[in-house]
Chains A and B, each alone.
Chain A
């Protein structure tokens, strides 16, 4: 039911030692709403699919005429100006 609602990493962590009836078990559960960043949700996705993307990303942002930090700052400015979601 958790996954159908969209949750990721839903897990029963441990029992609570309190069962309200013979038919039920007390549990502690947690789940996460996935982050918007697809690379952070990739644990269960197809890893090979993102390998070329990662390599392209690294090539673009590698130190060159501008260092990596400057490239990231430019990208951050562009995304803010474009109104991209964080």
Chain B
């Protein structure tokens, strides 16, 4: 499938998504049919042992579509980037997994949700983790910065997926790995571009 969007289309998509997630930032539960909060974490089979370090108020900010950690271990000492980190649950779990010799960074395009993520750090004992504002298509990191890039339910929202994938590739170290949970089209969609654009953030 090869659909390219005009500048105007991309702007509408990005603004629609940001508006949606601004509302999610204050209360994720109830805005989605997506797995959210503690119930969402359980539904997506995050082990309780892994979640132990996160208090309920942090778990409540979870919004995702899968458990990228089930794709393979994140090792002590590694550097991890979470693209589209939202409230930062995956970022915080990664920070716990890499330990004090490693570090985790979460990026998101929506500043309100980053406020929530930063408050979430304070609710844990983790100090090797930070959050920055950025979109997947333009990551503010040098080439080869990370051992692991995580992404959970984010790329489906990116209007320019090739650009996002190129950026993720660029910031990975050679040999580094990209672990993602996402939603993919089961079949081709009808060619009605206008309708498709308006539903990107649903």
Which B residues, 52 to 78, have Cβ-Cβ distances below 8 Å to chain A?
A: 65-68, 70-72
Q: How many angstroms between the C-alpha atoms of A19 and B162 in the bound complex?
A: 23
What are the residues of chain B within 8 A of A25 when measuring CB–CB?
Answer: 183-186
Q: Is B39 close to A, CB under 8 A?
A: no
- Smallest CB separation, A63 vs chain B (Å): 30
- Smallest CB separation, A15 vs chain B (Å): 9
What are the residues of chain A within 8 A of B168 when measuring CB–CB?
Answer: 5
Q: Is B126 close to A, CB under 8 A?
A: no
Interface residue stretch chosen among B7-15, B95-103, B117-125, B171-179: B171-179
Query: Given the interface contacts A1-B162, A23-B189, A33-B169, does A18 sit within 8 Å of B72 by beta carbon?
Result: no
Known: A18-B66, A30-B72, A31-B177. 17 other contacts (CB 8 A): A1-B161, A1-B162, A1-B165, A5-B166, A5-B169, A16-B44, A21-B202, A23-B189, A25-B186, A26-B66, A28-B66, A28-B71, A29-B179, A29-B181, A30-B180, A33-B178, A34-B174
Q: Scoring B residues 142 to 184 as 1 if CB is less than 8 Å from chain A, else 0, what string do you get?
A: 0000000000000010000110011011001111111111111
- Interface of chain A: mostly helix, strand, loop or mixed: loop
Does the CB pair A20–B183 fall under 8 Å? yes
State the B residues within 8 Å of A (CB): 33-35, 43-44, 65-68, 70-72, 156, 161-162, 165-166, 168-169, 172-187, 189, 202
Does the CB pair A7–B183 fall under 8 Å? no
Does the CB pair A32–B162 fall under 8 Å? no
Q: Scoring A residues 41 to 60 as 1 if CB is less than 8 Å from chain B, else 0, what string do you get?
A: 00000000000000000000
What are the residues of chain A within 8 A of B177 when measuring CB–CB?
Answer: 30-33
Does the CB pair A27–B184 fall under 8 Å? yes
17 A-B pairs within 8 Å (CB atoms) are namely A16-B65, A18-B34, A21-B202, A23-B186, A23-B189, A25-B184, A25-B185, A28-B71, A28-B179, A30-B178, A30-B179, A31-B178, A33-B173, A33-B177, A35-B174, A36-B174, A36-B175
